[in-house]
Amino acid sequence: MDYVDYYKLLGVEKNATADEIKTAYRKLARQHHPDLNPNDPEAGKRFQAINEANEVLSDPEKRKKYDQYGNDWKHAEQFEQAKRQQQTSGAYTGGNPFGGGFAYNGDDENYSDFFESIFGNRRRTQRESRFKGQDIHASFQLNLSAAYKTHQQTFTVNGKNLRITVPAGVENGQEIRIAGYGAPGVNGGPNGDLYITFDIVNDTAFERRGNDLYKEVPLDLYTAVLGGSETIDTFSGKVKLTIAPETQEGTRVRLKGKGFPVYKKADEFGDLYVTFRIQLPKHLSAKEKALFNELALERKK
């Protein structure tokens, strides 16, 4: 198998931080997503390679093994076990757990030959072994307004379209698993799984905190002082609120059940919290200023 440089594939240095790897992956995943490149037959392969690189480099343990063993990082434990046997016995003379008569004496120059002896022989026996295919990790951008309702989305995985149902209430960063839609298995083994991480983009005037929603509503001075009503928009439609007289700046009211749906719990919703922001009048006429002066004098009595 040709060596694949995952760092080069993501365009990061070998000492890149987890955040740098995450940022690079998201940028490339969106750039090469098959849905955004319908006329490019190679987009799917690039997208899969990017996901594979991210899966390894974003996992500290996998990254450590990859840095040491390259493409054969999955067999790191077997190699370490064989190396420990060599260190215990002083010479590795035919005790290869996978067969073969290679003798390893601790010389680093023989490292590649030793490694090939172990895993080259393992490759020759693959026709008798079945392995699960590699898992695929992908991100999908979804608007907050779309996440409010259960709906279907179409993904392209390995050149095939996959239509799934996205449950209402999915959260930012939430990961869902779709069994069997990863890379093909080896020698008839089961396919890997597909893991989709949702990147929720807020396209609304609401702020989401868990299942609750928050919204600031402007309120004119006269309604705040004298009371009245105000109609506001919610996800489930317009709601008419009664404004109590002498409502103060920053007053918050709770609308039970008008928040975001609870993930996979039918007919359960969070709450909506509305905060009033008093708007002072501008460009007062001479008469209005005179009236405010009268009110000021009246308050001083």
Task: Identify whether the C-beta of residue 261 lies closer than 8 Å to the C-beta of residue 169.
Answer: yes
Domain boundary among 128, 153, 168: 128
Whether residue 186 is found in the same domain as residue 266: no
Task: Identify whether the C-beta of residue 35 lies closer than 8 Å to the C-beta of residue 149.
Answer: no
Q: What pLDDT does residue 91 have?
A: 43
User: Within a 10 A sphere around the Cβ of 191, how many other Cβ atoms?
Assistant: 18
Helices 18-31, 43-57: crossing angle, 10 deg rounding? 170
Residue 283 lies inside a defined structural domain of this protein: yes
Tell which residue, 268, 270, 142, 119, has the closest CA to residue 196: 142
Phi, psi of 22 (to 5 degrees): -60, -45
- Spell out, as residue ranges, where the chain has pLDDT lower than 70: 1-3, 79, 81-129, 158
Tokens of 277: 């922001």
Whether residue 98 is found in the same domain as residue 17: yes
Whether residue 10 is found in the same domain as residue 118: yes
Task: Identify whether the C-beta of residue 95 lies closer than 8 Å to the C-beta of residue 83.
Answer: no
Whether residue 231 is found in the same domain as residue 294: yes
Task: Identify whether the C-beta of residue 17 lies closer than 8 Å to the C-beta of residue 60.
Answer: no
Residues facing 92 on adjacent strands? 104
Domain boundary among 160, 184, 201: 201
Residue 61 lies inside a defined structural domain of this protein: yes
Q: What is the CATH number of the domain that holds 75?
A: 1.10.287.110
Whether residue 279 is found in the same domain as residue 213: yes
Q: How far apart are CA 271 and CA 207, in angstroms?
A: 12
Domain boundary among 128, 154, 189: 128
Question: How distant is the alpha carbon of residue 85 from its chain centre?
Answer: 42
Residue 243 lies inside a defined structural domain of this protein: yes
Structural domain including 148 reads 136-201
Whether residue 112 is found in the same domain as residue 88: yes
Residue 219 lies inside a defined structural domain of this protein: yes
Alpha-carbon dihedral sign for residues 9, 12, 14, 19: negative
Q: What pLDDT does residue 66 have?
A: 85
Whether residue 161 is found in the same domain as residue 98: no
Q: How far apart are CA 65 and CA 228, in angstroms?
A: 67
Task: Identify whether the C-beta of residue 64 lies closer than 8 Å to the C-beta of residue 58.
Answer: no
Whether residue 211 is found in the same domain as residue 283: yes
Residue 160 lies inside a defined structural domain of this protein: yes
Whether residue 196 is found in the same domain as residue 236: no
Residue 1 lies inside a defined structural domain of this protein: no
SS3 of 161, please?
strand
Q: How far apart are CA 69 and CA 50, in angstroms?
A: 19
SS3 of 242, please?
strand
Q: How far apart are CA 34 and CA 47, in angstroms?
A: 7
Alpha-carbon dihedral sign for residues 290, 291, 292, 298: positive
Residue 124 lies inside a defined structural domain of this protein: yes
Residue 230 lies inside a defined structural domain of this protein: yes
Q: What pLDDT does residue 93 have?
A: 40
Q: What pLDDT does residue 100 have?
A: 35
Q: How far apart are CA 66 and CA 74, in angstroms?
A: 8
Q: What is the CATH number of the domain that holds 171?
A: 2.60.260.20
Whether residue 233 is found in the same domain as residue 296: yes
Whether residue 82 is found in the same domain as residue 183: no
SS3 of 108, please?
helix
Element (H, E) at 46: helix 43-57
How many domains does the chain fold into?
Answer: 3
SS3 of 225, please?
helix
Phi, psi of 152 (to 5 degrees): -110, 145
Whether residue 20 is found in the same domain as residue 76: yes
